[in-house]
Structure 1
Amino acid sequence: MELTGRLAAITGFIPPGTVIADIGTDHARLPVYVVERGICHAAVATDLNEKPYRSALQAVQNRGLAGKISVRRGDGLRPLRPGEAEVVVVAGMGGNTIRQILAGAPEVLARVRRLILQPMVDGGDLRRWLAENGWRLVDETLVEEGGHLYVIDVAEPGRETVTDPVLLEIGPRLLEQGHPLLSAYLDKLAAGYHRVLYALARSRSSEALHRTVELTVRLKRIKDYLENNRQLPD
């Protein structure tokens, strides 16, 4: 079984010998891959919806892994028992959905030692939540796949020293690393701000004007980081 670039990058952050839980597993590709290759000796695969749950169950049975991968249907972390999985992976969902999943089962989350998260949107909201709730961003990376850029955040229990909302919007570890895809990612963030500002320009409400000022300041900082990054030597 081969993985997409995103899932392959996620496996690189899974400590060998751990038990993972893949939330929203779909076809259970990630759990099957890491168990078959001996990266993990066991895994839990969960999905909320019946069809992907059945697909995951079938995939695990077809590979003869039912004794090592437990497939469960349920909402977020709730199908897990506290301490059952050391590493939790949540990939391919919006950042605010991921945040709600993590917040929805505090007794399970309290026993998790590492989170590997791949938000499709609202990554800044997710990083702020992590920083405010006792999680430290230990690593981040960017993956290009199918003409799109995806960010992967890795967090562990601890104190995140970066609290600046703009830095959390960008990804503090991406900035510190000077990731090779950082300029493209900053361009993507700036384009998103431009779209929101264009929509706000149609309103004359005080709320819209306040939001416009706030986003304009943030956009200026993102563009400054972009310009500085482009000036760095290769």
Structure 2
Amino acid sequence: MKLGARLAAIAAYVLPGSRVADIGTDHGYLAAHLAARGDVGFVIAGDVNEGPLATARELINNLGLTDKIAVRLGDGLAVVRPEEVDTVVIAGMGGTTMIHILTPQTGLAHKLKRLILQPMVGAGTLRLWLVKNGFCLVDERLVREEGRIYEIIVAEPSPGTPDNLLSVEFGFLLWKKRDPLLKEYWQQILAHLQAVQESLRQSTQGSQHPKYRENMEKMLFLKERIRCL
């Protein structure tokens, strides 16, 4: 089945031979695509809501993929048994929600080969959590679909924390590879930070607000990098 640009880019990061859990599968499009691809060993389609999962079951039945996909109702990684999969995909949620899913199951996540994450918001917070909790960022990509730019983050278990956390927060791999959408995306983030900064400036604490200096550092970092793109 044909996927949109966002899900297609996520699917491209699933390596041949992988055993995959699609957490928050929603309607099951990605899980069905991976199972039909022919080079993926096993797929779990998990979701915390029965409604979308029923739709996913119907799709999987219609495509004749019931022997290749296990559809499971449950919260986050609770649908996965230890060593059952080697790749986990979590897409279409906020970065903070992803952290809440991964935190109780960090031990399980450290036994995976790969995490493929597509946060709708909070990508920077998610990146920082990953590098501080035993994961290495191995690839990042921006994808445009229906006028919106989405971030995809690929992480693998590996110890060590990079020195420049500000660079990590804003996507040092996107910068390293000069992603073609990076300038536009960073300009969007900068505009948001500028709006936040103006709100802080007008607050009771003004420039003494604890977030004011932090935001200023982020804005200066982005402005400097954007000038080089």
TM superposition shift of 1:223: 0.6
What is the root-mean-square deviation in Å for CA atoms of aligned residues?
A: 1.5
Q: How far apart in 2 are the matches of 1:206 and 1:183?
A: 30
Q: How far apart in 1 are the matches of 2:64 and 2:81?
A: 24
SS in 2 for 1:191: helix
TM-score by length of 1: 0.93
TM superposition shift of 1:161: 5.0
- Cα 1:208–1:147 change in 2 (3 A) is farther
Q: How far apart in 2 are the matches of 1:127 and 1:30?
A: 23
Which structure 1 segments of 5+ residues have no match?
230-234
Q: Does the Cα contact within 8 Å between 1:127 and 1:169 map onto a contact in 2? A: yes
TM-score by length of 2: 0.95
- Cα 1:48–1:207 change in 2 (3 A) is farther
Q: Percent identity?
A: 40
**Range with greater deviation from structure 2 (144-153 or 53-62):** 53-62
Residue 12 (str. 1) matches residue 32 (str. 2): no
Q: How far apart in 1 are the matches of 2:183 and 2:8?
A: 22
Partner residue in 2 for 1:170: 170
Q: Does the Cα contact within 8 Å between 1:82 and 1:109 map onto a contact in 2? A: no
**Range with greater deviation from structure 2 (104-113 or 76-85):** 104-113
Partner residue in 1 for 2:125: 125
Q: Does the Cα contact within 8 Å between 1:128 and 1:163 map onto a contact in 2? A: no
Partner residue in 2 for 1:80: 80
Report the AA paired with residue 228 of structure 2.
N
Instruction: Please list the CA deviations of residues 33-84 of structure 1 after superposition, one character each: whole Å capped at 9, or x if unmatched.
Output: 1111213122000001111111111111121111110000111001110111
SS in 2 for 1:78: helix
Partner residue in 2 for 1:192: 192
**Range with greater deviation from structure 2 (210-219 or 84-93):** 210-219
- Cα 1:217–1:22 change in 2 (3 A) is same
Partner residue in 1 for 2:98: 98
Query: What is the count of residue pairs matched by the alignment?
Result: 229
Which structure 2 segments of 5+ residues have no match?
none
Q: Does the Cα contact within 8 Å between 1:45 and 1:70 map onto a contact in 2? A: yes
Partner residue in 2 for 1:203: 203
Q: Which runs of 4+ in 1 moved over 3 A?
A: none
